[in-house]
Amino acid sequence: MFKKLLFAVLLMPVTVFAQNTYDLVYNTLNTKCSNAACHSASSAEALKFDGTPGAVYSALVNQLPGSSAALARGEKLVWVNQPYESYLLKKAASWLDTDLDLPAAEADAAHVNAGLSNIEAEFIRQWIMYGAAQSSVLIDTNIIHAYYNDTARAAFYPKPAKPAPGTGKQVHMGPIFVPGTGTTEMEFCLKHELDFDTDVEVNATEGNMNPQSHHFLLFRFDDSASAAAMSNGMRRILLTSGNSSFDGNKALSSAWQTSQTYTLPTQTAFFWPKKTFLDLNYHMKNYTAPGTSGVQPFDFYLNVATTPHLPTSNTIEMKTKLVNNPGLIIFPHSTAELPYADNDNGSNETRYVWMMSSHTHKYGTAYNLYTYDGNLHNGYGDTIYNGNYEYDPSGATLFDRGYYDWEHPSVKYFVPQYPINFATSGVVAQTTWNNTGGNLIHFGYTTADEMQLFYYMYTTRLAGTTAVNDVKTGDVKFTVYPNPMTDQGTLMYTLDNAATVKATVVNVTGSEVATLKEERNQAGTYTMDMGSKGLAKGIYFARLNVDGATYTRKFVVQ
């Protein structure tokens, strides 16, 4: 049976903001702990509060617990950056947050609500989230006092349900306390380590956050070394401090400007290793703070749905590209319209885009995305995203709002995925701002600054195809999907150079049963509908003749 952990019921006096945060935590634990189970010499499950501040720090921070149950859950006594995986906080303050709940065998009534005040427990939670350093002032104790002493304080964000065991994980960033001056906004990054039982495929990402949130970006570090190179704790994003939310060797996975779920297309997923290092980027603005103190607690909850990634898996990796213009300048009292191209334009691959969205700050009035065409003014080819429109996850365009909503920009989905040949084309943005003020506006991280950013998710192969079914010989790439197909199917080919193309379908006896199209095309990616040909069930061959050279692909109609 687990030892009981008892605390006195006294409220600590108001502390001074300049106090070293670990000293505050150390004194709290030593003052309020009155049971031998807390101490290093008395129990295998001890929380190890005995000794000098340095000895206690070394015994707690990033150390494994003596509790076999906590070990099985993958916890540490104090896990830097991660309060909800820290056994110390669960034992000391399990009432503070349901994410700190313990099973009944570990959370007996003798220590729940038995010692620490909400304020003291919050100090420990914030100390861990802000990096659990031994010597520095990490947290603003005044804002924590202001929040908890406000009888009309704002409620914490409602906690969404967690994925069922074995089906995914939930990551909780927060609470982050933002003062309510009417204009206050803050942006932070926080690295977070996830341990899975095996490499996983992430099939869906669900983001839940306060309505006042400006954005949340989910990055994944390239590897453990890249994560280790980034400092611990909450990293405040300010241009004046020389840091950026884009710093480090990492790639974007998902982005939110409102709560929503991204459910990836069938047979696609993000690929995350067994040990995954995330970077959580949260931008908040407290503009409708309730209560007398006006302090608003911000939380972000990330649910990821996972399945094991097996060596035999035929799942296609979903990737995300983030494009950002750091050189943006907008003159006072002026309207500006600027193009900005994806720096991957010209790369030698075809990308099948599934979704895309855009991002500006308050001066943004229009945002369009086009396929890139070097023969046209500013490269604006076909329109693939109009920021004035509302789109449906089914791929349908719902309606024209008549304006660009920079706070909640449109997310467009492509069903089926939209092919773009980046060897000859790509993506380019057309963005418009109206700078109504008298200041020169630059790229920046607050809503008084500006951005020209867009992102999209894509695969380099389509569901229903295999690597064998994608043929590239000379200057043509040729595929048929899905394979097998039913009443719908598509033939797609990519030309590196202009050519005359004729596509036909033949049966197993070699007889031509359908002519799809004959056309002269420039370099680029083209599709032909096969579903309208009324093919009976059976085995067929798609035949593509390109300037006299013939390519053949086998496919099945079910």
Pairing of strands 490-495, 524-529: antiparallel
What is the structure's pLDDT at 422? 92
545 conformational bin, left if phi > 0, alpha if psi -120 to 50, beta if neither: beta
CA distance 339 to 359: 14
Distances (CA, A) of 445 to 5, 204, 538: 45, 28, 58
Which residue stretches of the chain have pLDDT < 70? 1-18, 33-48, 107-114, 181-183, 239-241, 288-293, 464-475, 508-509, 532-533
Q: First-to-last CA distance in the chain?
A: 61
H-type helices in 440-540, by residue range?
Answer: none
What is the structure's pLDDT at 125? 97
Place of tokens 């604006």: 380
CA distance 73 to 60: 17
The alpha carbon of residue 464 and the mean position of all alpha carbons in its chain are separated, in whole angstroms, by 26
Q: Which domains does the chain have, with CATH numbers?
A: 21-148 (no CATH), 168-315 (2.60.120.230), 319-459 (2.60.120.230), 467-557 (2.60.40.2550)
**What pLDDT, in 10s, does the model give residues 23-64?**
999 888 877 765 555 555 555 555 667 778 898 899 899 999
What is the structure's pLDDT at 467? 43
Q: Which residues contact 155 (CB under 8 A, 6 or more apart)?
A: none
CA neighbours within 13 Å on the CB side: how many for 383?
8
Distances (CA, A) of 291 to 149, 184, 283: 11, 15, 22
Three-state secondary-structure class, residue 459: strand
Three-state secondary-structure class, residue 308: strand
What is the structure's pLDDT at 5? 29
Three-state secondary-structure class, residue 531: helix
What is the structure's pLDDT at 291? 56
CA distance 62 to 80: 6
CA distance 437 to 435: 6
H or E element: which one contains 91? helix 87-93
Cβ–Cβ < 8 Å for 105, 1: yes
Query: What count of residues does the chain have?
Result: 558
For every residue of 258-307, which 3-state class applies, written as one string? Answer: CCEEEECCCCEEEEECCEEEEEEEEEEEECCCCCCCCCEEEEEEEEEEEE
What is the structure's pLDDT at 13? 34
